[in-house]
Chain A
Amino acid sequence: MFTLLTFCFAAALLAPWLHRRLPAYAGAVLALAPASVFIWLFFQLPAVMHGHPVEQSFLWVEGLDLEFALRLDGLSLLFALLISGIGTLILFYTQGYFKGHPQQGRFLMYIIAFMTSMLGVVLSDHLLLVFIFWELTSFTSYLLIGFNHEKEAARTAALQAMLVTVLGGLFLLVGSILLAQAAGTWRISEIIQRGAEIQAHAHYLPILILICIGAFTKSAQFPFHFWLPNAMQAPTPASAYLHSSTMVKAGIYLLARLHPALGGTEEWAAILIPIGTITFLLGAVMAIGQTVLKRLLAYTTVSALGAMILLLGLGTPYTIKAMMGFVLAHALYKATLFMIAGGITHETGGETSIDKLGGLRKAMPISFACALLAGLSMGGFPPFLGFVAKETWLHALGDYPLLMIATMIGGAAYVLVGFSIGWRPFMGEMPAGLHAHEMPPAMRVGPIILAVACLGLAFFAGTTGHTLIEPAASAIAGTPLKVHLHLWAGFNKYLVISLATLAIGIGFYRARPLWLNLAQRMAGWARFGPDATYQKLFASILKFAAWQTRLLQTGHLRHYIRYIVLATTVLVFTAFLRAGGLHKLEGLTPLTVRTGALAVLMILATVATVHSKSRLRSILSMGVVGYCMALLFTFFGAPDLAMTQLVIETLTVILMALAFYHLPSFRHSSSVRTHAIDLTIAIGGGVVVTLLVLAALDVQTPTPISDYYLEHSYTKAHGRNVVNVILVDFRALDTLGEITVLTLAALGAGALLKLRPKKKEDRP
């Protein structure tokens, strides 16, 4: 498994290069990567079906106890099959969709990287590993949504999706850490066996809430659902893949994965059922009023995700089976419809509104067939997989009449959307001025295979249920379940309800103009919605940032120096007082005449520096202070320091003189008030440093590090000059860091000096 993941990441890196080499076939060649994963997974099916998960692990980071642990069980397998299978088809589709697009290589790279990250999420058996891959999917999805980065809407949507999902990711991280602590292990396969222990733990509720927030943001649950419809700015291949069948299901996957550990409690039901129901209905109702192809699909995706959460929240064996059946059916029909929607827009020269389309059946017969199959599956018509799923779903809700009614409403909306995409654009008269032709073969492959699967898998419902749904549902439930799916379950009340839903749905579809009218009137309400709240929050953060930047960043060097010195002084002084302050003054070297004289000279020079009316004189006076310092160093036996100080002082004077040469002469002096403030700060800084130096005399470490250096300088490092040995051997890494910083400083200063405007007259 590790090899496969590495292989796929390598394929992502190779994509741009391959696209340059083989512009026409890059997608097809790269599809080999997910295809090989799919085939490998397929061969694992028998073992996993019989309850033998495939495991692999090695130690990744020793100190953190981080294992690269992968595990393939029934649940992972179903998701991984969807990811790699649809991924393969999407790559073919991409090749056709982006035919001749210069940036196709970049898109391929992003989408393969995304696919691999997603595979990582479902294969990981270590909570931190899940988190890492989880964040990678957020990040790659950001790149995909913002692919058309020249468009502002795409950039905004990408940022929004990333902020929402990454924020949720942080909640997930905290939840994961708490969960690992409660369970005493990071391995998911062990965590899910300690459900009772975790649920009795004091942190159970916080863990549940945190992980739910993570999952809800990713899976676009109310009130975080708004990013998903906005993410439709992504190119269609990405929407079809990320926002229908894979990424948004990561949250569903995670909750399903942790269901044995966290699920089955009252809290679980109290969080998941209401949120799931609200999202399910909200998505369905919002979808009714949409006219843009992709947004229609996006809202029904939100709704479908809500349904999955709802079914998971109920947590009975029936609902779990129904949920997994729905996951499979939904992925198949939704990916098909997205691909067709993208195809229609692509082949009609950019038309996105279903009300401006019509009569495409002659121009795009194959697309019509696929759309119709998928649309019927979506609506839940027999004999499609969607029907089988809906049947199971209604069965599972048998004891909940209210939820049953909700399902009927939602189901009717699905019928409407299914018809709106699978029927409406293709029937009737073609509007004048609309030109269309069939999708190229590369774009047709995916929809055909998936649409046929929508129909075909329904006829093999028993086998599908047994091989795919059963192992997955068993993994969620934590106990082996038996799954029997039927296309024809006999004549019972659920069939009646199902058929009634279809009838209502057709009625809904007939009344579509009414809904659109209603939706237009309701549009004003959006400003109270979560999207508007997000925008307001975002704007206020920017405003706050601007305000505090204006406050702190005055652009005057003088102010920055003030802040730095003042902050350092206050902080150091506080730390100094906390450490006990100055105890005693002992062991001071008596003041000799020559040091005394030097000190007086230094003080005089300092005063001269401050008082001088000319810059050059100030600098020279400061140089005097430095030279005196160097002399002090020689008195106290530090020739290295003295020497360096001497040269540095000289060079500082030269550099300052050169820099000041470019400045105008002092025209107006600072005000008295400024002087007073600066003087206070300067004196404060000086006093604190003096106190610190005096206190340093008194500090006794058990074994001074200097002894070690003195002892080993010659024996270990072949040097008698300890100062230099420390610099180039004992602490060479520090020195390396310092010279790197020096380099950066020089580059920065160099850039500033080179980029300044030549002369005043040249300025615009």
Chain B
Amino acid sequence: MTSLILRTATRYMFPPLLVFSIYLLLRGHHLPGGGFVGGLTAGSAFALYALSFSVAAARKLLRIDPFDMIATGLFIALISGLPPLLSGEAFLTGIWWEIPIRPSVTVSLGTPIIFDIGVYLVVLGVLLSLVFLLAEEE
């Protein structure tokens, strides 16, 4: 598929899609979104790129192998469950820290966000590994 229109459109759509996917990931805890849908969105961005340019180009853009990404994601998700064990709580219990940014603003960060990042990476990796492998044989 070599369509100039698609390529041009992809060039413009790719960065916002990625940013949007991360936005979805991060806002997930309070508003619709989350690691799963975030990963899927990022996956469609890369799939779009692979279809309009080439799989090789998409792989180059991704830099790391999708399977490595899956492993990393799974590892992160697993690790995020460990901190509560230190304080004697059950595996994967959410632990939150209040991080002061300015005197009036604090941000709460917790292990569930780390877990969600893991989910994001696994979903993205699984999707891309399949898309790349299927599209590569053309």
Contact = CB atoms under 8 A, between A and B. Distances in A.
Interface of A: 639-640, 643-644, 647-648, 650-651, 654-655, 658-659, 661-662, 716-721, 723-725, 727-729, 732-733, 735-736, 739-740, 742-743, 745-747, 749-750, 753-754
B34 A640 contact: yes
B119 A739 contact: yes
Contacts of B77: 735-736, 739
The interface residues of chain B, by DSSP majority, are classed as helix
Contact of A746 (B40, B94, B129): B129
Contacts of B137: 662, 753
Nearest to A736: B77
Contact count band on B: 35 or more
Interface in B80-131: 81, 91-92, 94, 96, 108, 110, 112-113, 115-116, 118-119, 122-123, 125-127, 129-131
Given A658-B134, A721-B33, A728-B116, A746 B126 contact: yes
B41 A733 contact: no
B112 A732 contact: yes
Contacts of A743: 70-71, 74, 122, 126
Given A735-B119, A742-B123, A746-B130, A651 B34 contact: no
Nearest to A751: B133
Interface of B: 24, 28-37, 40-41, 43-44, 47, 51, 66-67, 70-71, 73-74, 77-78, 81, 91-92, 94, 96, 108, 110, 112-113, 115-116, 118-119, 122-123, 125-127, 129-131, 133-135, 137-138
A742 B134 contact: no
Contacts of A733: 81, 91-92
Contacts of A651: 40, 43-44, 47, 127, 131
Contacts, number: 140
Contact of A718 (B29, B40, B67, B123): B29
A132 B51 CA distance: 57
Chain A CB within 10 A, most for which of B40, B43, B67, B113 = B40
8 contacts: A640-B34, A644-B36, A719-B30, A721-B33, A724-B34, A728-B35, A733-B81, A750-B67
A750 to B, nearest CB: 5
Contacts of A750: 67, 129-130, 133
Contacts of B110: 718
Contact of A732 (B24, B34, B73, B81): B81
A640 B37 contact: yes
Contacts of B130: 655, 746, 749-750, 753
Contact of A740 (B35, B74, B133): B74
Contacts of A754: 133
Q: State the main secondary structure of chain A at its contact with B.
A: helix
A640 B32 contact: yes
A724 B116 CA distance: 9
Contacts of A716: 94
Contact of B44 (A650, A661, A727, A747): A650
A736 B81 contact: yes
Given A647-B44, A746-B129, A729 B138 contact: no
Contacts of A723: 32, 34
Given A654-B44, A721-B31, A750-B130, 5 more contacts: A640-B34, A719-B112, A749-B129, A753-B130, A753-B133
Nearest to B35: A728
Given A654-B47, A718-B108, A732-B92, A647 B30 contact: no
Nearest to A654: B47
Contacts of A639: 32
Nearest to B92: A732
A720 to B, nearest CB: 4
B37 A643 contact: yes
A659 B134 contact: yes
A648 B133 CA distance: 18
A260 B93 CA distance: 52
A661 B123 CA distance: 24
Q: Choose among B31, B34, B40, B43 the residue with the greatest number of A CB atoms under 10 Å from its CB.
A: B34
Contacts of B35: 727-728
Contact of B29 (A644, A724, A746): A724
Contacts of B127: 651
A728 B112 contact: yes
A747 B66 CA distance: 11
Contact of B36 (A661, A727, A745): A727
A742 B124 CA distance: 11
A729 B32 contact: no
Contacts of B31: 720-721
Given A736-B77, A740-B74, A753 B134 contact: yes
B44 A728 contact: no
A736 B76 CA distance: 11
Contacts of A661: 134, 138
A745 B130 CA distance: 10
B32 A725 contact: no
Nearest to A750: B129
B33 A640 contact: yes
| Residue with the greatest number of chain A CB neighbours at <10 A, chosen from B36, B40, B123, B126 | B36
Given A650-B44, A718-B94, A742-B126, A728 B119 contact: yes
B94 A721 contact: no
**5 nearest CB pairs, A to B:** A658-B134, A647-B40, A719-B29, A746-B126, A639-B32
A740 B73 CA distance: 10
A520 B46 CA distance: 76
Nearest to B43: A651
Contact of A721 (B34, B40, B92, B125): B34
A749 B32 contact: no
Given A658-B131, A717-B94, A643 B32 contact: yes
Nearest to B125: A746
Given A661-B138, A750-B129, A739 B123 contact: yes
A242 B96 CA distance: 58
A504 to B, nearest CB: 72
Given A647-B44, A717-B112, A718-B108, A736 B34 contact: no
Contact of A654 (B28, B37, B51, B92): B51
Nearest to A752: B133
B113 to A, nearest CB: 8
B29 to A, nearest CB: 4
Contact of A655 (B92, B96, B125, B131): B131
Contacts of B112: 717, 719, 725, 728-729, 732
B50 to A, nearest CB: 9
